[in-house]
Amino acid sequence: MIRDFGVLPDGTKVQEVTLKKGALEASVLTFGAIIRDLKVDGQSVVLGFEDLQSYLDHPNYFGAIVGRCANRIAAGSMTIDGTRYQLDRNDGGLNHLHGGSDGFFNRVWQLEQHDKASILLKLVSEDGDMGYPGRVEALLRYTLTGTGALRVKITAVTDRTTPVNLTQHSYFNLDGSSTILDHTLEIAAETYLPVDDQLIPTGEIRKVEWTPYDFQGGRKIRRKPGEEDVIFDHNFCLSAQAQETVQFAAALEDGAGERRMEVWTTEPGVQFYDAGMLDVPAPGLGGKPYGRHAGLCLEAQRWPDSVNREGFTSVLLRPLETYSHVTEYRFS
């Protein structure tokens, strides 16, 4: 089903396409390629809004595809093949975040095709966009599978060497409770990337063992005594490079253990953000307020600031190459 969802200030129309298969139902916007709602057996499991204006007023990347390069780039600066580029510094005026202030999350994607269970969207990012070199064409397909999964497949090509690192930025809450602090999270990573006070990786790759960042065996997200000041907005290192096929990355269970979501991905990292800074005064889906920890993000991606870090995963896409990313959210 397709319907008009609203009109942007420049007059561009935004459409919503509803997909349904088995127990899953997804509502996808052409604006930002946003997953506005995702229902499992009728229960919404993501945060979203009922109207377009709320997305414009509260740009927290709700359900969007972010890029051209997800996560943070220190000082918005990078050097590629001897040429320095200055990107949009939209993160407190200091760093580059999620592709810049007018990144992929803030664009209307072209609706290429859709059927009852899948949608194909396209976005073209021109040379110089947010400071990036090269023209990038990205294709995104969302598919609801017969096995109870939302599949995200993204490909991209470029005519000049440029960073490409796209991710799906939904905030998940599996039971509709006011916070996800009593959800149980498992992350299949032995190491993570410590960050500085601007949330930029320090360059160290640290073992999670004996730290608050050890989710290997599964644990509640709520802080333990002595962890009250711990921030969860870090990249967890799944592998040294992108994989050919999806691998298990993380699992999330609601507070009662009645609903489970597994994340499987080809990507070498997953950014876990527990929405500790979220505070949205507008009502969300079903009129619910979205305060701190109302949802959490598990953003499958290449490691942050990789373009400036030796030993991190490569994010550079060169002409004649194809960027490929597959992530599945499997529900049971």
Q: Is residue 178's pLDDT more than 90?
A: yes
Give the whole-number percent of the chain exceeding pLDDT 90: 95
CA 33/CA 110 separation, integer angstroms: 9
In the set 96, 98, 114, 169, the catalytic residue is: 169
In the set 267, 299, 325, 328, the catalytic residue is: 299
Q: Is 253 a catalytic residue?
A: no
Q: Is residue 226's pLDDT more than 90?
A: no
Per-residue pLDDT tens over the stretch 251-276: 999 999 899 999 999 999 999 999 99
Q: Is residue 314's pLDDT more than 90?
A: yes
Q: Is residue 224's pLDDT more than 90?
A: no
Specify whether the CB–CB gap between 37 and 26 falls below 8 A: yes
pLDDT confidence tier of residue 5, bands split at 50, 70 and 90: very high
Q: Residue 149: which H helix or E strand, with range?
A: strand 149-158
**Model pLDDT, residue 182:** 96
Q: Is residue 308's pLDDT more than 90?
A: yes
Q: Is residue 189's pLDDT more than 90?
A: yes
Show contacts of 2-7: CB within 8 Å, 24+ apart. 2/114, 5/29, 5/31, 5/52, 6/51, 6/52, 6/53, 7/52
Q: Residue 301: which H helix or E strand, with range?
A: strand 297-301
pLDDT confidence tier of residue 231, bands split at 50, 70 and 90: very high
Q: Is residue 184's pLDDT more than 90?
A: yes
CA 162/CA 81 separation, integer angstroms: 10
Average pLDDT, the chain: 96
Q: Is residue 103's pLDDT more than 90?
A: yes
Give the mean model confidence (pLDDT) for residues 310-328.
Answer: 97
Q: Is residue 227's pLDDT more than 90?
A: no
Q: Is residue 228's pLDDT more than 90?
A: no
Q: Evaluate if pTM is beyond 0.95.
A: yes
Q: Is 299 a catalytic residue?
A: yes
pLDDT confidence tier of residue 23, bands split at 50, 70 and 90: very high
Per-residue pLDDT tens over the stretch 116-161: 999 999 999 999 999 999 999 999 999 999 899 999 999 999 999 9
